[in-house]
Amino acid sequence: MNIVLFGPPGAGKGTQSALLVSQKKMHHISTGDLFRSHIKSKTPLGLRAKEYLDSGRLMPDDVTLSMVKEALAMLHGEGVVLDGFPRNVAQADALETLGREVGFDVEKAVFFDVPEAVLVGRLSGRWTCRNCGAVYHEVNTPPKVAGVCDRCQSKDLYQRADDSLESIKTRLKIYQETTAPLRDYYQARGRLAAVDGQGPTEQVYDRLCRVLWEKK
Ligand code: AP5
């Protein structure tokens, strides 16, 4: 099954994707992670992307699309979680077209519902491991030893530049204007599933698995 996870910044898309990868052996494509990896490697795309990501603005669609196309071509298969893509109706249309070309079907698009006040608390307390990408929250899900990644033991945990209050505000506004319409888009195509994204991570994961795999 191929799925799209969408929702506002901080809704838990990355956290839930990591669980689907470890427990259901799904493949994960996160456009945000792909851009961050280009920035880290200082590729020409990364140099262009940094300004967009740090300020919370969306990268141009053509750049994002060709990156996704390349990532999908490398996976050759089923069981893909698209995290943070599509992010507007134009990208969703482009994904439908690409899907027809390469035989890639999105079966469900899952929307994570989390109130804005909770999102701001989550983003401002997020720490990410620079080495392996594991994500923590300083209050909700801290690493076992402060400042040390549980997964790879690296001491290089950092806070994302776009998790500043100013950038969070921009991201939330852009989300409402350009990404939230995807709910109607996938509803009209009979593929929308909504999950309450509040509560402990494992509870959210149970809800997600129920909408994806339980027969109605
Ligand atoms: P991206 O990396 O996709 O950022 P985002 O959509 O803003 O989402 P986040 O990664 O901030 O949040 P998340 O929902 O994954 O939450 P997480 O699981 O980390 O994109 C970054 C940028 O790249 C964009 O702004 C744009 O510039 C560019 N970009 C990306 N895709 C693009 C596209 N398609 N087109 C154009 N531009 C694009 O959780 C957040 C925190 O909450 C963590 O600390 C976590 O530990 C905690 N948490 C998670 N779940 C719970 C829970 N249940 N309870 C308590 N705490 C929780």
**Range 111-130 average pLDDT:** 96
Asked whether 136 and 127 are in contact (CB, 8 A), the reply is yes
C-alpha dist (Å) from residue 54 to 18, 48, 58, 107, 141: 23, 11, 10, 32, 24
Label residue 200 by pLDDT band (50, 70, 90): very high
Name the closest-CA residue to atom 39, ligand 1. 12
**What residue has token string 């079966």?**
107
- Compute, in angstroms, the gap from residue 33 CA to the centroid of ligand 1: 9
Q: Vertex 46, ends 43 and 47: CA angle to 5°? A: 90
Dist CA 156 CA 135 (whole Å): 12
* Res 216: pLDDT: 58
Predicted local confidence at residue 76, as pLDDT: 72
Percent of the chain predicted with pLDDT > 70: 99
The confidence score (pLDDT) of residue 75 equals: 85
CA atoms of 90 and 76, how far apart (whole Å) = 24
Mutate to test the pocket of ligand 1, among 4, 5, 15 (most ligand atoms within 8 A of CB): 15
138, pLDDT greater than 80:
yes
Segment 118-142 shows an average pLDDT of 94
- How many Å apart are CA 104 and CA 211, to the nearest integer? 21
Q: Summarize pLDDT for 61-100 with one digit per residue, the tens.
A: 999 999 999 999 888 778 999 999 999 999 999 999 999 9
pLDDT given at position 215: 65
Per-residue pLDDT, averaged over 14-36, amounts to 95
> What's the CA gap between 49 and 33, in Å, rounded?
12
- 88 close to ligand 1 (CB < 6 Angstrom): no
Average pLDDT rounded to a whole number, residues 144-160: 96
3-state helix, strand, coil in the chain (%, to 5): 50, 15, 35
